[in-house]
Amino acid sequence: MSTEQVTSAIVGSFRWIPPEEGGRLYPPDREHLAAKVRLEHGAADGDEHCLLIDGIAVDRESEVRARWQDPDHAPAVNPGDVLTVVGGNRPIARLEVTSVS
């Protein structure tokens, strides 16, 4: 794992999972979020890591910038990776990584 990848800004497409797919009935009405995420198709251990996300639109898909709260213990991500935001133990949103800078 490269330190540069882990400490870099993550840019991606953020989408709340709709209630009919198991997401929240009313997503939080805020532009910033600190959330637990899992890297889909990533770490075999299924660890959750805290991601700080900025630029969220409540009512539509949005391009966001994010960074790890604890970059020393976060997984490296690459364009095309998908981070699943979890609330409790259920997925509530997805962030598809478009770039890491």
- Number of domains forming the structure of the chain: 1
- CATH number of the domain that 19 lies in? 2.40.30.10
**Cα 35 to Cα 99: distance, rounded to the nearest angstrom:** 20
Residue type for position 20: E
The closest of 56, 59, 74, 62 to 2, measured between CA atoms, is: 74
pLDDT tens per residue across span 57-73? 977 899 999 999 998 88
Instruction: For the chain, give the percent of residues with pLDDT over 90.
Output: 57
Residue in the structure block whose two tokens are 């364009």:
79
**Cα 35 to Cα 65: distance, rounded to the nearest angstrom:** 13
Q: How confident is the model at residue 1 (pLDDT cuts 50, 70, 90)?
A: very low
- Does residue 42 register a pLDDT over 70? no
**Cα 16 to Cα 94: distance, rounded to the nearest angstrom:** 6
Domain range for 30 is: 3-100
